[in-house]
Every structure is written in C-alpha cells, then in structure tokens.
C-alpha cells in the first residue's frame, strides 16, 4: 500500500480540437485529492489537435504533438514546446517543429529530458527532436520509416503508435500497429541519435495491432496492449539486449462479450501491484493483479468508464485516483483506487471537456 500523502494534482487535458490558432485546445484543471473533483483553472492555445502531451520531471515545460496531416505545407504533423508558468501552470508557446510524418499521435521524453520522441501514425515513422536547455525543440535529428503490413483491414501499412525510452535510457521502443512489431532503437538522446536495431524487439501474433507499451517499476517486465484483437501481453525485458519475450497474453474483455472493441491505453499502478487497460467499445477499464514474482496477470474487474471511447487514462502520482478521458462523450471521469485490492469505484465526479484525448497528471506545483 502506498505511503504517499494525499495531495492535489494538476491535470493538463490534450484534445482533438482545433484549427483556429486562437482556439483553446489544452485545458488545465486542479484535481482535489479529497473529493476527486476537477476544477478548471485555465484554457490554453495549444494549436490544432494537441492529442498527446509530455512533461519533464522539472515541470518547466510541456510538449504536445499536433495531430495533423499537413504542417507548414508539408505532409507532416507538428510538435509544440511550451514554457510552464510555475505560479499558475499556464502555458507560453516557445516554438514548433515538424514531426516529419502525418498524424503524430504519441510523444515522450527521454529520461534526461534531452530529446522528445514522436510516433507518426499515418506517416508510419518515428522521429527524435533534441530539446535545448531553454526548452525549445530543435528540428528532428533522427527519423526512421517503418515498413510492412498486417492481415487486419487497419494494417494496410505501418502505423507507429508509441515511442518511449526504456528505464535505463539505453534503448527506445516503437510500437507499430500496422506491422505487428515493436521496433528497438539504440538511444543516445544527448547526441540526438536513434539508431535502428537489426531485428524487431518483439513480434506479436498476426493482426494483434500492438498500440502502447509500458514498463513495470522493476524494469524487468513490460506490458503491451494490442488494439485490434483486444489483448494484453506481459513481456520479460532483457535490458542488456533490448529485447522482449512473451510471458503471457490475456483478453482485455470480459468472458462472453461479442461486440466491437478496440483497446487503447495501459498503465501500471505506482506500487507495481496492478495493471489497468482501456477498452473502446466495451467502454471499460480492465483491472489485473500482477504477480510480482513473474509479472503475469490475473483479471480482477471491468469498470464502466461512464462515457464513450476511453482513449487515454491516467493515475495520480499517489495511485489513489484514476482519471479517464472519454473521447466521444466529451467527458473526463474520476475513479477511486483501492490500493489493497486494485479495484475501482466511481468517485461520482464527471467533467465536460471537448474531445479529451490525453491526461497529463502531476502534483500541484503551484501551491
């Protein structure tokens, strides 16, 4: 059970809204640890479709992908850098760069905060952008184009959906929904390098459509959510070689469900005891217990997200609250987490937000 004290959080909500440069597209809320209530603090101009966000540990900056198919006249999306006001949490645009591929849908930072890494869904490629000391983004210094297809109708070409560093900041991994592969890269963020490895780090079952990857706090296990066949795969991680081996694959859906579904997001609780995954269609969060001796999963619960199409969700730093962004019902819903059992209960707190896509949750640094 976590020993962290209850503390209010700030929540930046990235959305699938925008086009007008003057339009508010990133929304800032304060989350009450006591009640689970979200109170809007401000609305920010984040550019068009800031669907995925990333913030370094310093909390001085915020980065967003602008999920568009054209940027500055080229077939690319954009990446925006913002300075964060430490008193208010408000954002000030620092600069923008192209993502070098259409429809960027994921951004992460290396562990030292020296580079931003972007997955371009429609472009089927990934890019690394160096981050300067003042938070500004340099143009992409490394890109890599994925190749291939899969048997599902949504796999007519490569669709990079995730790019993140490993716990040691030695490797980066790109999850590609279109090719059923997790690609490995040697990461040298300080030198702006992202060097592709000769073989994929992992290959899923044909048609699985892997989407997002997350590491267990112990660094020895990772979990992969597969969008197209609605499964979760537990992986043993070889940190020396930068490769994964399947431990187990389980359904993300309850027994007997036969409707249309696609999985989206996946997170491990801060204490490493539980895993959570989102279902779009069944509109639920699947909850699993993690066997800490071997990393395998046991299903515990499916909790309704009280909305449609849960794209992204996030746990608070203490792990005591879980927030869900329901994209197509335009709401963010808060749940309480029983840290002894992992089970979710509704906090009876729902907030209307236009087309919410991503939740960046951090301790409230403005207090």
Q: Where are the domains of the chain?
A: 17-363
Reported confidence tier of residue 5, pLDDT bands at 50, 70, 90: low
Reported confidence tier of residue 1, pLDDT bands at 50, 70, 90: very low
Model confidence pLDDT, tens digit, residues 212-234: 999 999 999 999 999 999 999 99
What percentage of the chain carries pLDDT values higher than 70? Answer: 98
Reported confidence tier of residue 122, pLDDT bands at 50, 70, 90: very high
Q: What is the pLDDT, as a whole number, of residue 367? A: 82
Q: What is the pLDDT, as a whole number, of residue 4? A: 46
Model confidence pLDDT, tens digit, residues 298-314: 999 999 999 999 999 99
Cα distance between residue 49 and residue 259, in whole Å? 29
Model confidence pLDDT, tens digit, residues 21-52: 789 999 999 999 999 999 999 999 999 999 99
The 3-state secondary structure of the chain, one letter per residue: CCCCCCCCEEEEEEECCCCCCCCCCEEEEEECCCCCCEEEEEEECCCCCCCEEECCCCCCEEEEEECCCCECCECCCEEEEEEECCCCCCEEEEEEEECCCCCEEEEEECCCCCEEEEEECCCCEEEEEEECCCCCECCCCEEEECCCCCCCCCCCCCCEEEEEECCCCCEEEEEECCCCEEEEEEEEHHHCEEEECCCCCEECCCCCCEEEEEECCCCCEEEEEECCCCEEEEEEEECCCCEEEEEEEEECCCCCCCCCCEEEEEEECCCCCEEEEEEECCCEEEEEEECCCCCCEEEEEEEECCCCCEEEEEECCCCCEEEEEEHHHCEEEEEEECCCCCCEEEEEEEEECCCEEEEEEEECCCC
What the block records as the tokens of 27 is 């929304």
| Mean pLDDT, residues 110-138 | 98
Query: What residue has token string 């937000």?
Result: 353
Q: What is the pLDDT, as a whole number, of residue 7? A: 87
What percentage of the chain carries pLDDT values higher than 90? Answer: 96
Q: What is the pLDDT, as a whole number, of residue 2? A: 41
Model confidence pLDDT, tens digit, residues 155-179: 999 999 999 999 999 999 999 999 9
Reported confidence tier of residue 188, pLDDT bands at 50, 70, 90: very high
Sheet holding 9-15, edge to edge: 38-44, 26-31, 9-15, 356-363
Fold type of domain 17-363: Methylamine Dehydrogenase; Chain H (2.130.10)
| Mean pLDDT, residues 310-334 | 98
Q: Enter the pTM of the model.
A: 0.97
């Amino acid at each position: 059970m976590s020993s962290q004290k209850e503390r209010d959080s700030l929540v930046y909500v990235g959305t699938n809204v925008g086009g007008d440069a003057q339009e508010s597209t990133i929304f800032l809320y304060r989350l009450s640890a006591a009640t689970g209530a979200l109170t809007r603090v401000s609305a920010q101009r984040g550019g068009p479709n800031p669907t995925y966000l990333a913030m370094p540990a310093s909390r001085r900056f915020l980065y967003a992908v602008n999920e568009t198919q054209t940027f500055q006249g080229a077939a690319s999306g954009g990446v925006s850098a913002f300075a964060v006001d430490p008193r208010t949490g408000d954002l000030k645009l620092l600069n923008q760069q192209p993502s070098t591929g259409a429809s960027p849908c994921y951004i992460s930072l290396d562990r030292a905060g020296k580079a931003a890494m972007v997955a371009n869904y429609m472009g089927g490629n990934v890019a690394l952008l160096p981050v300067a000391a003042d938070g500004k983004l340099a143009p992409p210094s490394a890109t890599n184009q994925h190749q291939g297809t899969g048997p599902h109708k949504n796999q007519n070409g490569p669709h990079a959906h995730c790019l993140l560093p490993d716990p040691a900041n030695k490797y980066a991994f790109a999850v590609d929904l279109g090719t059923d592969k997790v690609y490995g890269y040697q990461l040298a963020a300080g030198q702006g390098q992202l060097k592709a490895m000769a073989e994929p780090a992992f290959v899923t079952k044909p048609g699985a459509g892997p989407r997002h990857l997350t590491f267990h706090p112990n660094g020895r296990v990772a979990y992969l959510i597969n969008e197209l066949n609605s499964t979760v795969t537990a992986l043993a991680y070889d940190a020396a070689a930068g490769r994964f081996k399947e431990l187990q694959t389980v359904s993300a859906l309850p027994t007997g469900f036969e409707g249309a579904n696609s999985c989206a997001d996946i997170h491990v609780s801060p204490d490493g005891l539980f895993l959570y995954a989102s279902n779009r269609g069944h509109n639920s969060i699947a909850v699993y217990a993690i066997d800490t001796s071997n990393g395998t999963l046991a299903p515990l619960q499916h909790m309704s997200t009280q909305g449609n199409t849960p794209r992204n969700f996030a746990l608070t730093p203490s792990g005591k609250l879980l927030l869900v962004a329901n994209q197509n019902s335009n709401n963010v819903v808060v749940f309480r987490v029983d840290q002894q059992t992992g089970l979710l209960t509704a906090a009876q707190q729902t907030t209307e937000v236009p087309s919410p896509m991503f939740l960046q949750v951090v301790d409230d640094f403005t207090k």
